[in-house]
């Protein structure tokens, strides 16, 4: 017999421990209230709570805060009129993948806060990329939110399918208990005429209309630097394509739409081949968080900031300083690929 006076049958004992743990941890009942309900001593309840932890019925996780650089965050907000900024302070010994996941956690913190303010069945838009994947992976699951997820750019066909739009939409919808809406089309096609034909398809047109009405969007920022170009890795563009874009002043893309160092996109022929919402559409979304980091992306991030294609930026301190340095120079600039510093 156990000290509580209950039969020591293993299954019954487990049920009892689950009940006590639920009352204590989830329903916020104190030990005396639980003791009164079960007609046992308070010390018995205390032992049961410990036993539940020891048996793994209860798992306690301590979420350590991510180290942020609040001064750089405020500098970005002041310089570019952002609603908010999240900048990871990076120790020297941090690996690149650890920095990315740290930035993703910061973006997830923002998403968590905003999602709690959204009504059920509201739509969120999602693009693609490693930064977006890092943010969604860090997002806490809460299926009661019933938030629907909309793919706002066609499928890229990335080497890692987990970072492509359809899988990201499914992952996020599963976490938030909502439906996911795929865009059944490629992100980039060979000819503008083919893009126009796909735009005429009812399914694609419906996807685009839904994408333009999202309450919140999460996207990455790409670059034309060959060492960090997602479109190059996905096989949509060649090094020669990137070189030609760079010679035209193009520095990067977001939602698959390319822009120059000032955020201008209107006269770029490549954008006539993209299937997804436009940059003007993106600017009308009430909240857009861009998750992007890395020195090769500093000119791209600056161009996106100048174009006002985001309301919130999640990045790291090295990237933020490079962006601010480029902005201070007052002209579109490139990165010294050898030393990773702003020039021009």
Provide CATH 3.40.50.1360 ranges for the chain: 70-343
pLDDT computed for residue 2 by the predictor = 44
Beta strands in the chain (DSSP E): 84-88, 123-126, 148-151, 180-181, 216-219, 222-223, 250-254, 257-260, 287-291, 312-316, 334-336, 341-343
How would DSSP label each residue in 221-270? -EES-GGG-HHHHTTSS-HHHHHHHHHTTEEEEETTEEEETTS--TT-GG
pLDDT computed for residue 11 by the predictor = 80
Q: Which residues in the chain land under pLDDT 70?
A: 1-8, 61-66, 158-162, 331-344
Provide CATH 1.10.10 ranges for the chain: 10-54
Contact assessment for residue 243 and residue 153, using Cβ atoms and an 8 Å cutoff? no
pLDDT in tens, 64-98: 566 899 999 999 999 999 999 999 999 877 788 88
pLDDT computed for residue 160 by the predictor = 66
Contact assessment for residue 127 and residue 157, using Cβ atoms and an 8 Å cutoff? no
pLDDT computed for residue 337 by the predictor = 36
pLDDT computed for residue 336 by the predictor = 42
CATH number listed for the domain at residues 70-343 = 3.40.50.1360
pLDDT computed for residue 4 by the predictor = 46
Strand order in the sheet with 222-223: 222-223, 250-254, 257-260
- Statement: the pTM of the whole predicted model exceeds 0.85: no
pLDDT computed for residue 305 by the predictor = 97
Cα 274 to chain centroid, rounded:
22
Contact assessment for residue 158 and residue 125, using Cβ atoms and an 8 Å cutoff? no
Looking at 1.25.40, 1.10.10, 2.30.30, 2.40.50, the CATH number of the domain 10-54 comes to 1.10.10
């Amino acid at each position: 017999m156990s000290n509580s006076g209950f039969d020591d049958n293993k299954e019954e004992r487990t049920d009892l421990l689950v009940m006590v743990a639920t009352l204590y941890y989830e329903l916020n009942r104190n030990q005396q209230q639980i003791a009164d309900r079960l007609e046992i001593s308070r010390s018995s309840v205390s032992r049961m709570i410990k036993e539940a932890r020891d048996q793994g019925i209860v798992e306690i996780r301590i979420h350590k805060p991510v180290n942020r650089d609040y001064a750089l965050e405020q500098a970005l907000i002041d310089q570019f009129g952002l609603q908010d900024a999240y900048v990871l302070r990076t120790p020297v010994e941090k690996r690149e993948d650890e920095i990315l996941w740290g930035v993703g956690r910061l973006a997830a913190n923002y998403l968590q806060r905003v999602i709690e303010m959204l009504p059920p069945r509201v739509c969120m838009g999602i693009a693609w990329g490693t930064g977006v994947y890092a943010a969604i992976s860090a997002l806490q699951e809460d299926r009661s939110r019933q938030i629907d997820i909309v793919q706002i750019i066609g499928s890229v066909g990335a080497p890692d399918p987990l970072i492509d739009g359809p899988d990201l939409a499914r992952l996020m919808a599963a976490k938030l208990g909502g439906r996911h809406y795929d865009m059944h089309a490629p992100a980039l096609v060979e000819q503008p005429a083919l893009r126009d034909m796909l735009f005429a398809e009812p399914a694609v047109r419906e996807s685009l209309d839904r994408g333009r009405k999202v309450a919140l969007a999460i996207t990455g920022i790409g670059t034309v630097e060959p060492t960090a170009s997602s479109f190059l890795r996905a096989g949509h563009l060649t090094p020669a394509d990137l070189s030609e874009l760079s010679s035209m002043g193009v520095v990067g893309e977001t939602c698959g739409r390319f822009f120059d160092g000032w955020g201008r996109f209107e006269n770029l022929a490549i954008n006539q081949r993209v299937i997804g919402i436009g940059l003007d559409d993106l600017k009308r979304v009430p909240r857009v968080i861009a998750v992007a980091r890395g020195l090769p992306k500093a000119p791209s991030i600056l161009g996106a900031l100048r174009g006002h294609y985001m309301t919130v930026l999640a990045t790291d301190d090295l990237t933020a300083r490079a962006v601010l340095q480029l902005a201070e120079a007052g002209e579109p600039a490139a990165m010294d690929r050898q030393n990773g510093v702003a020039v021009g």
